[in-house]
Amino acid sequence: MRTHKEYPIQDVAVFKEKLLSWSQQFYEIAWLDSNNYPQKESNFDAVLAVEAFTAIKTDYTEAFNKLLEYQERNKDWLFGYLSYDLKNDVEALSSKNFDGLHFPDLYFFQPQKIFLVIGQKVELRYLKMVDDEMDADMEEILHFSTEQNNVDKPLKDSKPREIKARISKQSYLHKVQEMLHHIHRGNIYEANFCQEFYSEDHEIQPFQVFKNLNEISSPPFSCFMKLEKNYLLSASPERYIRKTGTKLISQPIKGTARRSADELEDQAIAQALQNDLKERSENVMIVDLVRNDLSKIAKKGSVKVEELCEIYSFQQVHQMISTVSAQLEVGIPPVEVLRATFPMGSMTGAPKISAMKIIEELEETKRGLYSGAVGYFMPEGDFDFNVVIRSILYNADRKYTSFSVGGAITARSIPEMEYEECLLKAKAMRKVLTSI
């Protein structure tokens, strides 16, 4: 059981900055922020979870069974991630590509302290063992000076970091052509092909990088996660899947276009994306895949497409998003929903297993947490997870920084245009890493 206490907030933006700055003292941090995006289906505006009471971390072997046991045993708030390579637990697949990050394949923790920002108040959910710290923590947070407390240590090397491409442009174009050959032969209809950009032997300031990335992008599924020496700095616009009672919703993204400072041109770009046959066909194929995945654990006839190919606008890009819902069949545990739908269709392709096999052959980096999911379980078993895209991953021990971008390859794909879309998606992450 958790102690529940509420405090009013006068200036929410200032409080959130103080709260996140204060949190940097802990070894386990999960910060999820909607950035006031006018999205549907949200439990709070932002949440901070810190200081593990219990935790689970493992490789992909029996990972979902271990998570099922952990979630059912604790029945509490749990925060963490599922890496893309859990596909090897779900199907007879493997991951043999280069891995510079070395994150565990799955990591969740049960926090001692939770702060839920809802409107003009913050709700505290503490384990009883730390009841006597609640008031002192709030007092410290409210008086925390983000100017006087430098939570990131100054770095000796302040030169701009060299960002390298794991795949050259020429190699990328060649690999997309190989993907197209698979499509033309009928092996797959669509596959998400990704490439890594990385920096070696350089320290970064994770907290400052995250703040800068969030300021540039202000996405609805922003996340700062620190688990020991491993960091996720995410500006994701995409929800993977959410459970509220018996209702499930998934919101795959397929279709991207740039923004323009000129209002009329920006509207024209959004309209062109709405009418783009290639982008719509990508989106519709993934919607069909999501519907199929949800049907495995949904009540018969309950899977519905609530939105198809709607345009959502973010600070950096316009996105084409669909919303698929379903009613969960009686008796199916929350973790089984994740097992049945993972990895998400927007990051794999169709047919899913064939696409994942081809992806593994053509990509040169183990995806790891990229294109996996990050989120939380609530005590009653509800959950919400995003898709780990537009994200920077950092292993502080290895001084290795990585971000990956990709896109859906279909029969209509033009390799040069796919490469340009990758650069567009990489723009914000490259900027924050080379400007600090």
Enzyme catalytic residues: 238, 254
Q: Which residues pair with 328 in a beta bridge?
A: 298
- Contact (Cβ atoms closer than 8 angstroms) between residue 422 and residue 229: no
- Contact (Cβ atoms closer than 8 angstroms) between residue 359 and residue 69: no
Angle at 365 between CA 363 and CA 371, to 5 degrees: 85
- Contact (Cβ atoms closer than 8 angstroms) between residue 238 and residue 312: no
Phi, psi values for residue 109, rounded to 5°: -140, 150
CA–CA separation, 254 and 413 (whole Å)? 13
Alpha-carbon distance values, 119 to 43, 91, 129, 225, 322 (Å)? 11, 42, 28, 23, 27
- Contacts of 13 by beta carbon, 8 Å cutoff, 6+ apart: none
Give the tokens for residue 74. Answer: 């604790």
Strands 373-377 and 383-387: antiparallel
CB atoms < 10 A from the CB of 262, how many?
10
Strands 221-227 and 230-236: antiparallel
Closest by CA to 257, choosing from 233, 234, 283, 295, is: 283
Helix (H, G, I), strand (E, B) or coil at 96: coil
Closest by CA to 178, choosing from 195, 193, 162, is: 193
CA–CA separation, 174 and 98 (whole Å)? 19
CA–CA separation, 291 and 302 (whole Å)? 10
Closest by CA to 385, choosing from 124, 82, 171, is: 82
CB atoms < 10 A from the CB of 108, how many?
25
Angle at 434 between CA 430 and CA 436, to 5 degrees: 125
Cα-Cα-Cα-Cα torsion 121, 127, 130, 135, nearest 10 degrees, comes to: 10
